[in-house]
Structure 1
Amino acid sequence: MQVLISILISLIAVEHLFFFWMESIAWESFGRKVFGGSKEFFKTTKSLAANQGLYNGFVATGLIWSFFLENELSISVRLFFLGFIVVAGIFGAYTVSKKIFWFQAFPAFIAFILILSFS
């Protein structure tokens, strides 16, 4: 089960690195393709998206960091960052799109439950 948890944590970290890249670096190009909207909207919201992307980068970094820590500390760090993801995903689903729950909150919630159950 620990291998499955590690794979899931890795996938969630990669997903948030992707969010970081899209929101902080490729907002006006790739971000626009993903979300749709006017060129002007993406130009004017670029700094907001970059800020949001930075938080996703921090979350990914925290999850990656957890692989280099001792077992008990690793578990605490993973739960800490996964908790952020779950809350942000639920908030995003409520305020923006229900899809955010399935892409962001749900995988983190599953990982959170698996860690609590098998660690």
Structure 2
Amino acid sequence: METTAAVLVGLVAALHAYILVLEMFLWEKKPGLELHGFDPALARATAPLAANQGLYNGFLAAGLVWGLVAADPTGFRAQVFFLGCVVVAGLYGAATANRRILFVQALPGALALAAVLLAHQ
């Protein structure tokens, strides 16, 4: 179960690293425009907000990587904390912005969190 948990945490970290790149660097380019359906003017107007969101997603990814490489109990605690943040952010985003965030962010975070907790019983 520890291997499964580590893989899931790594996948969630990779997802958030990708979100960082998308929101900070690709927002006004084809991948960002296609994801949100924004026209170039709206993408340009919202780019600073997206970059800020991307930076926070990078912090989540960094915290999860830290949790993977740190020895326990620090690694375990970091994973639980940052996965909890991922789940809360996903729930909030689904409630306030786009329901698909529930499945793209909150669900993977919750599955990884459950695996981490089960692996450390």
**TM-score normalised to the size of structure 2?**
0.95
Read off the aligned partner of 1:10 and give its amino acid letter: G
| Equivalent residue, structure 2, for 1:70 | 71
How many residue pairs are counted as aligned between the two chains? 119
Query: C-alpha deviations, 1:18-52, integer Å up to 9, x for none?
Result: 00000001110121111112111000111000000
Equivalent in the alignment of 1:55: 56
Read off the aligned partner of 2:113 and give its amino acid letter.
F
How far did 1:61 drift? 0.6
Q: What is aligned with 2:80? A: 79
Q: 3-state DSSP class of the match of 1:28? A: coil
Per the TM alignment, residue 118 of structure 1 is displaced from its structure 2 partner at its CA by: 2.2
Distance 1:25 1:3 in 2: 32
Q: Which residue of 2 aligns with 1:109?
A: 110
| Letter of the structure 2 residue corresponding to residue 90 of structure 1 | L
Hey, what does 1:24 align to over in structure 2? 24
Are residue 91 (structure 1) and residue 112 (structure 2) matched?
no
Instruction: State the Cα RMSD in Å.
Output: 0.8
Give the structure 2 partner of residue 100 of structure 1: 101
| Structure 2: gaps of 5 or more residues | none
The 3-state SS of whatever aligns with 2:73 is helix
One-letter identity of the residue aligned with 1:78: Q
In 2, Cα distance between equivalents of 1:81 and 1:58? 9
- Could you list the per-position Cα deviations for residues 65-107 of structure 1 after superposition, in whole angstroms to 9, with x for gaps in the alignment? 1122112111100011001100000001111111100110011
Deviation, structure 1 residue 114: 1.8
Over 2 Å off, 4+ runs: none
Q: Which has the higher relative contact order, 1 or 2, with Cα contacts under 8 A spaced 6 or more apart?
A: 2
Query: TM-score w.r.t. structure 1 length?
Result: 0.96
Residue aligning to 1:11:
11
Cα drift, residue 10 of structure 1: 0.6
